């Protein structure tokens, strides 16, 4: 793949709504086989700018197919489907335990020319409950539509964890990520009091108070609704940053290892 094509496909992490002509020009300049090979190479990169850029290009191609001039976008999309490009990337990330890439792929899954069966997603949930539960929020979003809040809450409650320190942070992260009705979320956050580490009790109480404001009639545009300096989300961000660095050095890092190795101490855990 030429450097010019690599630069065009990654396009600073994505394409905007008015970029149809720009994408059309890429498709006119390079044959679909070359673009396909370039995307496959980028998806296997250890660097976020490359694999995220490639997924964002595919996502744009998939959702903007009707607005891109010409028919070469349809040809490339069909090649991506026939070549199982997304499945190939998913299998590669699984094998390499590339958890940051898996999280990004699961986040983008609903907007890609690829679909996982509900049975397969359930298998992933059961696997990563044990292997690396920080991936669960996006898997729940793939499994259940955002407008089915009751089903999301029910599946959330059925999750099981092997360690309380991991369970607290991941359950909190899930409640912040998936769409669960605020009344149900209030109940779920309050249950976390039973397993909250002492150092996070203030953050949890602030989140409970924030959610209760959202339940009131006068919450709109209330600056006090947003929780500042959320230590738990800071912890999650710290994990993904460290996992990315670890992968670039040839090793994997689970959330459990992140906590047990003491690397989480810098994030307040």
User: What's the whole-model pTM score?
Assistant: 0.90
Q: What is the pLDDT of residue 12?
A: 55
Distance, CA of 154 to CA of 167 (rounded, Å): 16
Q: What is the pLDDT of residue 20?
A: 84
127-182 pLDDT per residue, tens: 999 999 999 999 999 998 877 889 999 999 999 998 878 999 999 999 999 988 88
Residue 226: which region, alpha, beta or left (left: phi > 0; alpha: psi -120 to 50)? beta
Residue whose C-alpha is closest to residue 54's, from 63, 42, 64, 62 = 42
Q: What is the pLDDT of residue 117?
A: 93
Q: What is the pLDDT of residue 227?
A: 59
Average pLDDT over residues 117-133: 95
Distance, CA of 49 to CA of 17 (rounded, Å): 20
Q: What is the pLDDT of residue 223?
A: 47
Banded model confidence at residue 221, pLDDT cuts 50, 70, 90: very low
242-254 pLDDT per residue, tens: 999 999 999 999 9
16-75 pLDDT per residue, tens: 667 788 888 999 999 999 999 999 999 999 999 999 999 999 998 998 888 888 888 999
- Encode 138-154: b = buried (16+ Cβ within 10 Å), e = exposed: bbbbbbbeeeebeebbe
CB-facing half-sphere around the CA of 222: CA atoms within 13 A: 16
- More confident of the two residues 219 and 49: 49
3-state DSSP call for residue 53? Answer: helix
167-204 pLDDT per residue, tens: 999 999 999 999 888 899 999 999 999 999 999 999 99
Distance, CA of 39 to CA of 178 (rounded, Å): 29
Asked if 134 and 170 touch (Cβ cutoff 8 Å), the reply is yes
Asked if 267 and 234 touch (Cβ cutoff 8 Å), the reply is yes
């Amino acid at each position: 793949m030429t450097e010019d094509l690599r630069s065009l496909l990654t396009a600073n992490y994505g394409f905007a709504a008015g970029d149809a002509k720009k994408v059309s020009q890429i498709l006119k300049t390079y044959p679909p086989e070359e673009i396909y090979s370039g995307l496959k190479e980028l998806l296997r990169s250890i660097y976020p700018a490359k694999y995220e850029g490639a997924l964002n290009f595919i996502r744009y191609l998939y959702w903007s197919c009707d607005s891109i001039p010409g028919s070469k976008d349809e040809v490339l999309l069909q090649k991506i489907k026939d070549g199982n490009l997304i499945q190939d990337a998913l299998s590669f990330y699984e094998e390499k335990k590339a958890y940051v890439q898996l999280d990004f792929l699961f986040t983008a899954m609903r907007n890609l020319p690829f679909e996982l069966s509900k049975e397969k997603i359930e298998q992933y949930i059961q696997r990563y409950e044990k292997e690396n539960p920080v991936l669960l929020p996006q898997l729940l979003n793939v499994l259940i539509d955002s407008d089915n809040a009751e089903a999301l809450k029910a599946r959330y409650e059925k999750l099981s964890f092997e360690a309380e320190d991991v369970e607290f942070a991941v359950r909190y992260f899930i409640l912040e990520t998936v769409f669960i009705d605020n009344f149900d979320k209030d109940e779920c956050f309050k249950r976390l009091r039973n397993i909250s580490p002492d150092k996070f009790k203030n953050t949890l109480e602030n989140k409970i108070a924030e959610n209760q404001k959202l339940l009131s009639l006068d919450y709109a545009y209330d600056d006090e609704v947003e929780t500042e300096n959320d230590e738990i989300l800071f912890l999650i961000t710290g994990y993904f940053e460290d996992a990315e660095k670890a992968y670039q050095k040839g090793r994997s890092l689970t959330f459990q290892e992140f906590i047990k190795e003491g690397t989480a101490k810098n994030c307040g855990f």
